[in-house]
Amino acid sequence: MEGVAVNPWLMSLLLFLSLSLFVGTMANRWWLMRAGEFHWKHDRFADRVRHLFAVGFGQKRLLYEKGAGWMHVGIFSGFLVVSLRTITLIGRGFDADFHLPLLGGPLGIVYTVLKDTFSVIVLLAMVYAIWRRLVLRPQRLHLSAEAVLILLWIGSLMATDLLGDAALFRLEPDHAERTASWAGNLLSPLFAGSPDAVVHQWLQALYWSHCVLVLAFLNFLPFGKHFHVLTALPAVYLGRLTPSASLEKMDFEGKESFGVGRIEDFDWRRILDMYTCTECGRCNDQCPAHVTGKPLHPREIIVHERDAAYGMADHLIEVGKLKAGGKHEAAAAKIAEFERPALIGEVNEEEALWACTTCGWCVSSCPVVIDHIPNIVDQRRYLTMMEAKVPSALQGALKGLENNSNPWNVSAAAREDWIGDLDVPRMRDKGQAEYLFFIGCAGSFDDRNSEVVRAVCRLLNKAGVDYAVLGTEEGCCGDPTRRVGNEYLFQMQAQQNVATFRKYKVQKVLTACPHCLNMIGNEYADFDLENIEVVHHSELLTELIADGRLKLKPGAQTKVTYHDSCYLGRHNDIYDAPREVLEAVEGVETLEMKRSRREGFCCGGGGGRMFMEEDLGSRINHERIEEAAGTGADEVCTACPFCLTMLGDAIKETDRSESLKARDLAEIVLENLAE
């Protein structure tokens, strides 16, 4: 080939210098990551591979978003395709006829077409990305010189490759790739009429520029936010596969500190999250705390932690090496003597940590599966269990949870007072039942939510469902306790409930509370409660209506908008059942809010916030009720006691009691039950 001048010595020197620098940098990043607690993720290999292909290579979460999402998919997929070409070009520094295995024949021709196509896609996406950043300037994006530099850098890689092909085909009209390289042929006239010597010089310049640019790019990535180009796929593969609202069980044995109060207390996977954050701001978009002016910004939590880690990199690298070598006492001593900004208070604001409703928007929208909620809750654990620092409004709820197993701090003996004269079977009388109806604290002690569980019981009686309740044997599921960080108290509550379930050989649990559903269905497995089916009342009502066990009459014409509970929808993927119940009621017209289903906006009551004051920014439940009222609905319907309380309060506080009311699904079904 007369085109590319083979120069093995120069290419060898270039590779040696660039790869040596890269390996050294990555080794330091590895040791820094090892400063965290190390547990290797090697379980569920097949599930991890599927997750990698769906979310990593398939870019599933970016496809939620039109425009910018597809732009990123175009750049990512093009980068993957063109990377094979880059490897080929580096190989041609040693052998002008080098090609990767299988790409020397017909398959290589097909690849050339794909390579040209994706190179052009990347260039177009790059132009759109720069225009979006510099002209459209979406609020969530930081104006970053680094981001523009990276886009231009990627564009230059595509351009030098395509222009290099054009120069090569001008020198070698019979080159094997020319028949397939439509972009190279399209650009070839740029070199028409130029002397061969000049075209040859252009080819060499383009070729070596491409090689230098790609190797320099590789070494630049670990020093900026675009480190995610290298870490995203490993992070997705190693991501948590348990349900999104499920928190990791804390082991108390042999530990002197609980929760996370320093960077070194994080699991190493959390540090990988810090490396992988793209700073895209999707996590901030519909974060209820961020949107309503609270100090919590999920992106900044991760970015500030990353910046703090980089600021003490030398220390963390030393600690990582000591821990990896099994020298834990020496590592502990080094950690103890090191002066650093306080993780809670300086790196992250306490008020930001307490503002989180654990709604899951950030986790569900992050394209690289960063786990913001466990990060925040781990720091709440430190505040609660190590420093006894909890918001004053929460102290009464915690006292009630500890003394009476409910945040209302009502006597545990009153847990079945809601039953009154209603015919509700107790498990202690029946011994066993098909369904254990787990009432939860709100249904037991909050008058408004007691109306809901009474409605559910009436429907179960009407349909002839075999069920029973625990009454005074029931304790709090532990959701508020765990979310605010009191893991020790939560584990006591969970163990007591699990023991009661075992006592009655419970196989199916019915609940009208998504928080109870999530806790029993997803988190009690850590306490050896397995092979138990947990059903939300919306799911059972759907089944009973479909089977004809609950017959409905035509109701009055009314417009209803359904509010998705975060713990029912986003965290447990139950979106259709509540809507099917409403659609089964003749006369009910359902109206969707703009933010619904996965994008549903939080009521503000999760993560323990139900029992805390909201004195910063605007109120989350007011924001949501404004949206509900904007649909023109007569009623806002939900299927969660926290949501019902928060939305009901918002209706009163915004003077909408005459035009809008909040009700649970069960109440609507009961009202429209045929005689």
**What mean pLDDT do residues 120-127 have?**
91
The CB density around residue 242, as the number of other CB atoms within 10 Å, is 13
Is the CB of residue 432 less than 8 Å from the CB of residue 399? no
For residue range 457-482, what is the model confidence (pLDDT) as tens digits? 999 999 999 999 999 999 999 999 99
Q: Is the pLDDT of residue 593 over 60?
A: yes
Place of tokens 């992250």: 348
Q: Which amino acid is at 21?
A: L
Query: At residue 81, does pLDDT exceed 60?
Result: yes
pLDDT of residue 144: 77
- In 3D space, the residue among 526, 529, 612, 534 whose CA is nearest the CA of residue 571 turns out to be 534
User: How far is Cα 109 from Cα 2, in angstroms, rounded to an integer?
Assistant: 21
Identity (one letter) of the amino acid at 648? G
Query: Which of 339, 365, 343 minimizes the C-alpha distance to 352?
Result: 343
Query: What are the residues facing 661 on neighbouring strands?
Result: 635
Q: How confident is the model at residue 3 (pLDDT cuts 50, 70, 90)?
A: low
Q: Report the C-alpha gap between 226 and 632 in whole angstroms.
A: 45
Per-residue confidence (pLDDT) for residue 327, from 0 to 100: 93
Give the three-state DSSP class for 269: helix
Nearest Cα to Cα of residue 449 among 415, 483, 480, 418: 418
CB neighbour class for 34 (10 Å; exposed up to 12, middle 13-18, buried from 19): buried
Q: What's the chain's average pLDDT?
A: 92
Q: Which two tokens stand for residue 627?
A: 């949206």
pLDDT 10s digits, 506-537: 999 999 999 999 999 999 999 988 889 999 99
pLDDT above 80 (res 41): no
Query: How much is the pLDDT for 4?
Result: 58
Rounded distance between C-alpha atoms, residue 396 and residue 391, angstroms: 10
For the beta carbon of residue 577, count every other beta carbon within 10 angstroms: 19
* Residue 518: per-residue pLDDT: 96
**In a 3-state reduction of DSSP, which class is residue 37?**
strand
pLDDT in tens, 188-219: 889 888 898 899 999 999 999 999 999 999 99
3-state DSSP call for residue 673?
A: strand
Q: Label residue 89 left, alpha or beta by phi (over 0 means left) and psi (-120 to 50 means alpha).
A: alpha
Confidence band (pLDDT; 50, 70, 90) for 2? very low
Please give the Cα distance from 584 to 572 (Å, whole number).
23
The candidate with the shortest Cα–Cα distance to 376, out of 510, 484, 455, is: 484
Higher per-residue confidence, 244 vs 670: 670
Higher pLDDT, 5 or 146: 146
Q: What is the rounded CA–CA span in Å between residue 599 and residue 282?
A: 12
Neighbouring C-beta atoms of residue 321, cutoff 10 Å: 17
95's CB contacts (< 8 A; 6+ apart) are 6
C-alpha dihedral sign at 65, 67, 68, 72 = positive
Q: Which two tokens stand for residue 120?
A: 């052009």
pLDDT over 80 (residue 1): no
Share of the chain above pLDDT 90, in %: 74
Residue 514: partners with Cβ closer than 8 Å, 6 or more residues away: 536, 565, 566, 567, 568, 571, 572, 574, 639, 640
pLDDT on residue 193: 81
Top pLDDT among 551 and 256 is at 551
Which tokens hold the place of 527?
């306490």
Q: Residue 299 pLDDT more than 70?
A: yes
* Residue 371 phi, psi dihedral angles, 5° rounding: -100, 85
For residue range 156-173, list pLDDT tens digits in order. 999 999 999 999 888 888
Report which of residues 67 and 648 the model is more confident about. 648
- Reported as a single tens digit per residue, the pLDDT across 332-386 is 999 999 999 999 999 999 999 999 999 999 999 999 999 999 999 999 999 999 9
Q: How far apart are CA 8 and CA 94, in angstroms?
A: 5
pLDDT band, very low/low/confident/very high, at 44 (cuts 50, 70, 90): confident
**pLDDT > 70? residue 5:** no
- Mean per-residue pLDDT, 304-328: 95
Contact between 68 and 132 (Cβ < 8 Å) = yes
Q: What percent of the chain has pLDDT over 70?
A: 99
| β-pair type (533-536, 508-511) | parallel
Query: Taking residues 551-571, what's their average pLDDT?
Result: 92
Tens of pLDDT along 439-450? 999 999 999 999
Q: Report the alpha-carbon distance of residue 244 to residue 227 in Å, rounded.
A: 25
**Domains within the chain, CATH numbers bracketed:** 8-228 (1.20.950), 263-388 (no CATH), 393-543 (3.40.50), 549-671 (3.40.50)
